[in-house]
Structure 1
Amino acid sequence: TCIGVSVVCAVGCGVLYHFQGKNGIDCFPSGKVNLIYGEEILFFIFFLMWTYFAGFRPQAYGTEKFMDYGFMEAMMRSTTLPARDLWYSEGTINYYYGGQYFAVFLTKLTGSKVELTYNLMRTFVAAFAFVLPFSLVRQMSVDRLKESLTGKKRCLPAVAGIIAGLSVSIAGNMHYVVYSKIIPWLQNLQGKEADSYWFPDATRYIGYNPDVPDKTIHEFPCYSFVLGDLHAHVVNVMFVLFLVGLLYAWMRSVRMREAVIMKPGRKQFWKKQLLIPHILLAAVMIGMFRFTNFWDFIIYFVVTGGVVLFTNIVQFDGKVKRILAVTAVQAVEIIVISYVVSLPFTLQFDSMFKGVGIAQNHSMIHQLLILWGLPVVLTVLLIICIIWEKLRGGANRSLYKLMKAISVPDLFAIVMGLCAIGLIVIPELVYVRDIYENGNARANTMFKLTYQAYMLFGMTMGYGIFRMLVAARKKVFKVVSVIGLVLLCWTFGYFGNSVYAWFGKVWEPSEYKGLNAASFLENDFAEDVAGIKWLKKNVKGAPVVLEANGDSYS
């Protein structure tokens, strides 16, 4: 089945390639071959790096690893989806197992084993977390700064892309800078012994320091890649980043064409608006998110809606009725397609959603500033810089004229930045009521929303810093950009700190343990190994002999 699906997809790609150029699709852009190869090499470098690190702590044990590994093993043994639940023998998996499904798909396609592909899949995603932001921000920088890219400046788009890739995939937040560098330095000046820094503290700050009942979570990709969980929000990183790039490609293709004039009664017009390949694919991706990570379904429906609205404002010459009509129809189209795509999953899924509640607790101001001050300041500064340039001299007073004057990369960066700021604000106002409501009401809401905000901020900062350095007309923007770049690069130190703390001395190959996620059983659970091997060899499917109660994730 996996081979058959792959063949169908390959044929589909061949058809697209044959008809490339129509409807704004350019499958293999001329003059870009070296860039394509270069990005593949970058992907492989980061894939190899993370795979090497994973070999120093390969075991699928602790936190949510057993659950993620178990999902994969359950699907490997099952001929239908969803597979039998690991803990509840009378039911099937009632969770977002899409990410593990894709891992199993690749496992079966390559004839591998889950013991190895569990780790390969998480390092696969980590590599995408660098190369996709790199590709997007590099292209945005080329589109915006092409007139300024002379001489040595020609390398700036690549540098901006690298900064964006590093910001998304290996950076920490300012918590690392403040609590591992600045505060210990001040303690040393006072003759005190500096506190040691434990890298998970950057993800457990609000509610923990100081200790208050409002416990929250604010993780980010680097922490996930080091920790090694293959959970829903982690695997979906590569898909949401692809969607963001797809949306930029659509906005860019629209701006490159003349403004569309809507003629009432023209069926051809509506057919064209409803068959935009970028939006159709975006709708399919958003529907898939209900299967891979439901939170991203909501988040990126809003992000997609923002891009569609901003693009239509420019595309239809600021004519309000036309903008609202087309945007509303396209929104309905996205909702319908996404729901149809997700039906095989949602028809068998029992949601834990219990409604939306008003937040009773709020984060302390200094905590928000430490976690989000840097990206918010740089994002707001970028927006001010762009708007000030376009309003200078009294020009572009209307909203349409202003947006028309703003370049596509600038407009897209504004959309990403505003969406990211919104994702930070929402958990301070409301939260989704779920199984964590008693004691950790805001935890899951803040976790899932700010995780996406972190990635959107990373790409916005990567683009915004270099855009202001090269194109800003006021020195204040350039100065603050340099300061922001220094602080952003300082957060990259989180990568080294966390890798050493979790994987150990990675520069000593003798400590390398390999990629087998189940090899730890030989030492830690020696009395169970023979039984596990016998069951895997002799038992087919997922029959149940005995079910016992136990702790979560065990």
Structure 2
Amino acid sequence: MANILLWLMAVEILGLITFPLCYFFFCRLPDRGIVLSPVLGLLLVSYVFWVLGLIGGFGNSRFVIVGILLVTCLVSLEVVRNSRSDLLGFLWRERFHIVTGHLLFLVIFVTWISVISQVPAINHTEKPMDFGILNAVLRAESFPPEDMWLAGHTINYYYFGHLMMGVLTQLTGIASSVTYNLSLALIAALASLGAYGLVYNLVRLSGRFSRSATLFALIAPLFVVLIGHLVGVLDFVQAQGWGSEEFWHWVNIKDLSKSVAENGSIFPQSYNWWWHSSRVIDTVVGNNSLDFTISEFPFFSFLLGDLHAHVLSLPFVILSLCLGLNLFLDDSPLRDMWSKRRICEVLVLSLSFGSLAFVNIWDLPVLLGLLGALIFLRALREESISLAKTVLRTLVVAVPIFVFAMIIFLPFYLDLQSQVSGVLPLLEVSTRPFYFFLVWGLFLFITVPFVLRQFWSIPRERLLDERLLIITVVVTLVPISLWCGVAFFLIQADGGLVEAAISVGSRFGKLLPLILFVGICVFAGLARNKQGEHEIAFVLTITALGYYLLMGLELFYIEDFLPLRMNTVFKLTYQAWLLLALASAFGAYYWLTRPVPKNFGLRVGNHLLVVMTGLILLGCLYYPVGAALNRIQSADDPPTLDGLAHVKQRDPDEYYAILDLRDNAPWGRIVEAVGPDYSDHGRIAASTGLPSLLNWPGHELQWRGSSVPFVGRDKDVDLIYRSHIPEEVDALLKKYAVRYVYVGKRERAKYGEKGLGVFTSLMRPYFQSPGVTVYVRDINAY
């Protein structure tokens, strides 16, 4: 409990210190960005901390972070001094919104803490990797940190999200094995709070008062982080033993191939039945996957417990969306963007959008594209200029922001080795419409009527606006036209003109409804923007972008180290979920507050739509309840937030060795047994932040695109443990500048006992227990 309170206190202090800056930066939003203050504070403090770490000489400690906080506090106090009466009046007017936001944050945080504490172990999927990055950041003497599984090389991954959690870890002094799990709950709470704040502002901008806007905004966190999709309905059907063999064969989802009666249970009882909901989009032939993809959504991610980049980025993507909305609401001439008065806004835009690549690089192109679209829409409001000048003014404003966003994170880019080799057309597979509906059904039922309503009510003269029509056609048809050209050329080269025409025509026909809907959404957004309905235009823009991403996933994929479009679907559907969840939250508010149509047919249709949407929402809520219960029931150990408690229970000697190395041992490289990915190997390095010679080689290959940096290291480690020749071992220890050698169960099981006596002649024991010995070598020997 003390750790939880201390963690919450640190977040609250960050928010309080940064609130005056939010009040200044988010000057056009009704709530002045107050609920985003912890997110902005964490970003600002962590960026300065990272820059100081790059420079070197400042140390990686709590004192540096406190110093940064004090400077930030002084800046905020200056803002308060200049706007004291306005600030007090604002806080009083927004008190209901502020209190509700804090309660929401606490409810989400405590809810996830209660779930995570049942299954806290850092011992599966990507957890050890994320834990290792967190500890590598905490133990780094300067940045970038050294790779915990490849000593001598820096981490070749986007680690800024882990660094931000590391900042809170340093500030609070809580053990990283606990803050790993606290971070998961924090990200869920911050993402919920940010979603709530964004939709609150949109509802307020549409004319609602604070109290009603607060209540409607609570829909946003529900859609973003608390619901599943409609595969849960199939899980329910399967659990009841319903459905014929032919039905389940038609469904054709792995682990949902037949009905399994669960003796009257509402939920499936099989271990981790909720896993397959993240592997829905596939083409399965004879139980073989031809299009194996990952289609995670936030609730699944938090339940799984990986502190991965796409999860860490959620609140910071929402922060960037709010900054984009704040910019979009400005009606002053676009050329004023570069005035001295606005330079602070440009800086915070660049920092927020630029940080996205450092947290999760997949977010950057999508969010920069959105920012460019919002700047273009702003320029389009200026009636007196041509379309060419509109584009030019957009570039004049957008390009410097984009460039500066890159420059302030340039050290990260210079150190990163990308494994992306290109963008290729998707020819072999496509998403089955049934699977598409299972994943996106709820959002479709809300956003499609909302978009059609906005399009239907556009004035006739605006429907014939030549500029809007040109923009719509270009934006909508460019990706499909490009794909058709490339695909036709490639297919006809192998199969002839007829096969090419059939394949291209079939894909185009399948995507035609989505293409038309995206076009309608784009045009409606352009029209509403011209009419000054900024909040509607913004929602239509993020809706169009969400479906644009989904359309793009059926046309192209990014060539990288994973099969076909697995990673592309994984990363881009996550962004689409966030965008469409936010748009759907506003769309739900819109439908709930519109007058009921007087026409009998329209009134009946409206009621049917509400009922069907409610049933679909109920189906989407089945999954999170059942999945959370299944996850909790799978726990064997007492509740705790310590992610290493399972090690303490099963191998206490290893646990206390980890604590000593993590908390007391000076930094240095360590040798431990080398083993495969997704195993207990590499645990010492991952848990202490001390870089080992090699572990999880599959991940290292993914990160670096080649085995050249570590070829032969596994043999060297083998020789260190097995050799009987002290000179041979000594040479290898010097080669890698090794400070520690760890000898525990895994080392004895893999390398045997015979060569371990060599260490006593070359090193001295640092830690000893019946099952573990850690040897240390004088670093001055190198």
Match of 2:703 in 1: none
Tell me how far 1:80 sits from its aligned partner.
1.0
1:428 positional shift:
1.3
The alignment partner of 1:324 has SS state of: helix
> 1: distance between equivalents of 2:382 and 2:367?
22
Question: Contact between 2:528 and 2:536, CA under 8 Å: does it hold in 1?
Answer: no
Matched residues in 2 for 1:292 and 1:396: separation? 41
Give the equivalent residue in structure 1 for 2:410: 343
Number of matched residues?
528
Q: Secondary structure in 2 aligned to 1:432?
A: strand
Q: Give CA-to-partner distance per residue, 1:326-371, whole Å, 9 cap, x none.
A: 2111221122111112112112121122111122322222211221
**Correspondences of 1:350-369 after superposition (within 5 Å):** 350-360=417-427, 361-369=429-437
Q: After superposition, what is the alpha-carbon deviation per residue over 1:226-268, rounded to whole angstroms, capped at 9, x for unaligned?
A: 111111111111100111122222323x2xx4x63x8xxxxx7
Q: Please state how far the C-alpha of 1:450 moved relative to its aligned partner.
A: 0.5
Q: Which residue of 1 aligns with 2:766?
A: none
Change (3 A) 1:478 1:2: farther
Q: Answer yes or no: is the 8 Å Cα contact 1:273–1:326 preserved in 2.
A: no
Aligned partner of 2:488 in structure 1 is none
- Whether 1:231 and 2:304 are equivalent positions in the alignment is no
Q: Is the 8 A contact 1:376 1:421 kept in 2?
A: no
Shift of 1:538: 4.5
Shift of 1:88: 0.9
The match for 2:665 is 539
Q: Aligned in 2, Cα 1:18/1:456: closer, same or farther, shift over 3 Å?
A: farther
- Aligned-residue offset at 1:47: 0.9
**CA distance in structure 2 between the aligned counterparts of 1:236 and 1:270, rounded to whole angstroms:** 27
Partner of 1:374: 442
The equivalent position to 1:518 in structure 2, one of 644, 647, 654, is 644
For structure 1, which runs of at least 5 residues remain unmatched after alignment?
Answer: 263-267
Residue matched to 2:294: 217
| Residue identity opposite 1:483 in structure 2 | M
- Residue in structure 1 matched with residue 47 of structure 2 by the alignment: none
Match of 2:352 in 1: 285
Match of 1:265 in 2: none
Which residue does 2:458 correspond to in 1?
Answer: 390
Which is greater in Rg?
2
Aligned with residue 167 of structure 1, among 213, 223, 230? 223
Structure 1 match to 2:71: 8
**Aligned-pair RMSD on alpha carbons?**
3.1
Instruction: Give the match for residue 567 of structure 2.
Output: 444
Query: 2:441·2:616 contact (CA, 8 Å) conserved in 1?
Result: no
* Alpha-carbon offset, residue 402 of structure 1: 4.9
Greater shift after overlay, 68-77 or 196-205?
Answer: 196-205
TM norm structure 1: 0.87
Post-superposition Cα deviations, 1:473-516, rounded to whole Å, max 9, x if no partner, equal: 5544564245324412431222211211112289xxx9752111
Alignment partners' CA distance in 1, 2:545 and 2:664 = 52
- 8 Å CA contact 2:237–2:259 kept in 1: the answer is no
Tell me if 1:108 matches 2:175. Answer: no
Deviation at 1:68, TM superposition (A): 0.9
| 1:190-221 Cα distance to aligned partner (Å, 9 max, x none) | 99644747112111012275642211001011
Is 2:564 the counterpart of 1:487? Answer: no
Q: CA deviation at 1:271?
A: 2.7
Give the secondary-structure state (helix, strand or coil) at the position aligned to 1:218: coil
Q: Which residue of 2 aligns with 1:180?
A: 235
**C-alpha displacement at 1:25, in angstroms?**
11
Compute the displacement of 1:29 (Å).
5.9
Change over 3 Å in CA distance of 1:36–1:534 after alignment to 2: closer
Please list the CA deviations of residues 379-421 of structure 1 after superposition, one character each: whole Å capped at 9, or x if unmatched: 2321110121232x65664347653225222111101111110
Following TM superposition, by how much is the alpha carbon of 1:73 offset from its aligned partner in structure 2, in angstroms?
A: 1.4
Q: 1:304 to 1:537 in 2, by over 3 A?
A: closer
Tell whether the 8 Å contact from 1:145 to 1:471 is kept in structure 2 after alignment.
no
Q: Is 1:416 equivalent to 2:542 in the alignment? A: yes
Does residue 391 of structure 2 align to residue 304 of structure 1? no
1:442 deviation in Å?
0.5
User: Quick check: 1:356–1:432 contact (8 Å CA) kept in 2?
Assistant: yes
Greater alpha carbon shift after TM alignment, 374-383 vs 272-281:
272-281
- Aligned-residue offset at 1:275: 3.2
Aligned-partner SS, 2:150: coil
- The question of 1:45 aligning with 2:127 is answered no
Q: CA deviation at 1:2?
A: 1.3
Per-residue deviation at 1:16? 3.9
Which residue matches 1:204?
A: 279
- Residues 240 and 259, structure 2, Cα contact 8 Å, conserved in 1: no
Secondary structure of the 2:670 match is coil
- Is 2:223–2:582's contact at 8 Å kept on the other side of the alignment? yes
Q: Which amino acid aligns with 1:6?
A: L
RCO comparison, higher one (Cα < 8 Å, 6+): 1
CA contact (8 A) 1:379 1:464 kept: yes
CA distance, structure 2, for counterparts of residue 358 and residue 44 of structure 1: 45
**Structure 2: how far apart are the matches of 1:56 and 1:48?**
13
Q: Which aligned pairs between 1:446-485 and structure 2 lie closer than 5 A?
A: 446-471=569-594, 475=603, 476=605, 479-485=608-614
Contiguous gaps of at least 5 residues in structure 2: 1-63, 246-257, 263-267, 469-525, 682-782
C-alpha distance in structure 1 between counterparts of 2:176 and 2:89, whole Å? 33
Provide TM-score, normalisation by structure 2: 0.63
Structure 2 counterpart of 1:491, one-letter code: C
CA distance in 2, matches of 1:404, 1:26: 35
- 2:219 partner letter: I
**Bigger Cα displacement from structure 2, 334-343 vs 396-405:** 396-405
Q: Distance in 2 between matches of 1:315 and 1:20?
A: 32
The one-letter amino acid of 1:5's match is I
SS across alignment from 1:521 = helix
SS in 1 for 2:641: coil
- Write the letter of the residue equivalent to 2:138: M
Question: Which one-letter code corresponds to 1:364 in the other structure?
Answer: R
1:187, CA displacement in angstroms?
Answer: 0.9
> How far 1:292 moved relative to its partner?
0.7
- Answer whether contact 2:138 2:166 (CA < 8 A) is retained: yes
Q: Which residues of 2 match residues 29-44 of structure 1 at below 5 A?
A: 31-44=93-106
1:430 to 556, 579, 590: 556
